[in-house]
Structure 1
Amino acid sequence: MFRAPKVLVGEVSKDQARPAAPGSPAAQPFGETLLSFAGRLTRLQTEILAGLDVPLTIRQYRILSRVDAGHTSLMALCRLAHRNPPTMSESVNKLVKQGLLTRETEAADRRTMALALTAAGREAQEAGRLALEKFSAELTAGLDEHIRADLLTVMHRLYSETESLLDDR
């Protein structure tokens, strides 16, 4: 079980800021800290998903989640992930071979393939979702509700900004 360090929670929750020790992560420039934090979250997410009964990569978890949300065509998945069809097809093929996804022809257009979660795929996606929700709740448990709300607003904005950067590629 992940536990947020009490020092971090205490520092973030207080109104007054303490000066950062030289060389500590708190002394890093904003951009460097942001990118280091994102990398750390990715590593932790990777470890959490790899530790499930049915181990998943981040990419596999996202594909299962997006198919579960109704994005059932390969092209829709490519657009959402900003990936080319061969890359996405390779990932989807692995999930089909693992028995987590099925591929069927669309009734309306027999040239189009529709993806669907199998029962095992639904269980794997749900296990991943619950494990990541638990981690997120534990990570932010000591944060004041106002700070959580502000962080959510900032994260949505940064996510949108990075989305537009990917759209331009």
Structure 2
Amino acid sequence: MACAPRCGSARCSAQAVSSYPRIDRLVAQIRSTHEGRCLLTARPSLNSQTVDTAALAELPPGTFGRAWVEWLRANRVGPDGRCEARYMPTFETRYVIQRYRETHDFYHVLLGMPTSTLGETVVKFFEAAHMHLPVAALSALGGSLRIANDDARAWLARNADGLDMASLMALAAWAVPAH
């Protein structure tokens, strides 16, 4: 889950196919605001050809543009590499899916999440809640199962020698390191 989907990947195809039932709702949601209507008219793209990341890096600290570029650099990713949206019924729905893919990293920045399994899962829950696309919900569920397994393994590794739960419940050692 931590890597960006590659063009032609099964994930991109699943995203396109599973989006059909909900894409019209997302388009209507975007159309409901002035900014959204402007977006659908102009159809700007987010990639290294259209966004001057060097200029964004010069913005004052705390601005979204600078935070986005810093996040891209810290996570060793860039604005390119998203699958081209295909198999959509209209140019408008195709653009909305493309925009959804291109803005994915924005949500990482807003939520303060890296490209780890946990980070991707949190972002997918956010996308599912706000965009109602089935693929986001399925990815969030899959990521949750993976996190649960990873967490269980980590807990077992830390506590393989046993943990005296009865003593722990009686102890009020709030300042003691947890790990």
> Which bin holds the TM-score, normalised by the shorter protein?
under 0.3
Larger Rg: 2
TM-score (norm 1): 0.25
TM-score (norm 2): 0.24
